[in-house]
Every structure is written in structure tokens, then in C-alpha cells.
Structure 1
């Protein structure tokens, strides 16, 4: 029982559980944002984006492709919201925060792998490289 308790209280398991709960809440937030604002805007431009009733019948078998089309549209809308309202601003913020930090690695001129600045030999291609005396900003 002690091992099980240790497993449950392990740091990465707790972090994973928290990430899952926050991710689920965030997914609901993005979905509600899309349903409240983006979908009505699309409806103003091109009509109601609900194609679930579209289908084709071949040899007596019905293929409801409209369900897929509606889900694909919802996916593109959701992905766009996440990218433009979360990923892009977060990337810009991280770039701005990291702007003043000194580099600790550089590219090997032979194989273009990242190596330490003071290295005299590349750890990947084993080519000799000229060490950088000062750390560039």
C-alpha cells in the first residue's frame, strides 16, 4: 500500500492531473467562446454553419457526411481561437521576457547542431570549431 501511496503523490502525476483538469476547463472556455461569438459572426456572413443534415445515399446506404463537415468547421474555428488568442500572444510574451538573456549555445558551422559556446569540438559531428571567447548577448 505504501508504494501505491507513493505513486499517487509523485510530483509528475499530480502535475498531470492538474494539467488535465485545467485543459478540460480551457476546452470548455474555448468552445463557449466559439459558440457565443465566432459562430454567430460566421452565421452573419454565410448563414448558419450547421451541416449535420447533409448526406448522400448510395445503394440504399446513407452516408451522413454533414456531421464530419460540421465537426471540421468547429475544429478549424477552435484551433484558430487557440492559436490567435493563446499561442501567439504567449509566444510574443516569452520572446519579450527572454530578450535580455545571454545565449549558452551556438550552431556548429559544419552540421548546424546546437553546441556550447565554449566548445572546441562538436559533440555530434566531432568537427573542430573555434571557441567563442565571450558570451554574446
Structure 2
């Protein structure tokens, strides 16, 4: 069981996933700082409040903090946009040559060999 676990951890996919999670967490903190320190003050110029997380309304004894929700939405939009840009640029770099034909599968190679043998037998 320990050997299987070592093989599982040593696989590239698991390591790539771990690196992605770590980088994603670091990137999330950068975006949160961007939102809190740059975007919210810019929005605050228009609505009169710099700290959106303090926006709330109260019904009875319940407090609905819609400002924190707005912060989370702004963070999500920024992260989604950056992921979109990264994916788009990676796809551009990984783009296959449109003129290159895909390599034939083993089945196609065998079928071509059979076809050639049948042609030779008919001659």
C-alpha cells in the first residue's frame, strides 16, 4: 500500500495539481489585495464609500452584509478574467500546426499494410 501511495504521489498529475493549488492560493491573496486596496477605493469615489465590506442592511436583528458579497464577486471576476487570459495565451502557444496531419493510429497502420498486401496479391 505504501508503494502504491508513493507511485500515486510521484505521478505528474498530482504534483501539478498541488503546485496549481499553491499558486492559486497565492494568486487569490494578490487579487484580494488588488480589490481591497485599488479597486474598492476607485469604486468608492463614485458611491462615496471606500470600504465596500462595511455595506449592509438590517432587517430586525439580522444583518445582511452585501458589501462583503460585492467584494467576493469582484475578486471572482478578476480571477476568472486572469484565468481566461492565461488559458487563451496557453492555447495560442500550444496550438498545433494546422497543416500537419495527425500521426496514424496502430489500427490505421495495420489496415494500410493489409491493403498493400492485397494489392500485391492481385498483381
TM-score (norm 2): 0.61
Structure ID, larger Rg: 2
Equivalence for 1:55: 58
Aligned length: 98
In structure 1, what is the equivalent of residue 47 of structure 2? 46
Aligned structure 1 segments of 4 or more residues deviating by more than 3 angstroms: 50-53, 87-101
Please name the residue that 2:70 is paired with. Answer: 73
The alignment's C-alpha RMSD in Å is 2.9
Q: CA deviation at 1:96?
A: 5.5
Moved more, 36-45 or 87-96: 87-96
Quote the Cα distance in structure 2 between the aligned partners of 1:97 and 1:13: 24
Cross-structure match for 1:64: 63
Question: Does the 8 Å contact 1:30/1:78 carry over to 2?
Answer: yes
C-alpha spacing 1:71/1:102, structure 2 compared with 1 (3 Å)? same
Which structure's residues are more often helix, by fraction? Answer: 2
Higher relative contact order (CA 8 A, sep 6+): 2
Name stretches of at least 5 consecutive residues in structure 2 with no aligned partner: 103-123
Partner of residue 25, structure 1: 26
C-alpha distance in 2 between matches for 1:71 and 1:96: 36
TM-score normalised according to structure 1 size: 0.56
Q: Is the 8 A contact 1:52 1:64 kept in 2?
A: no
CA spacing shift, 1:100–1:16, aligned 2, 3 Å: closer
Give the Å deviation of 1:81: 2.3
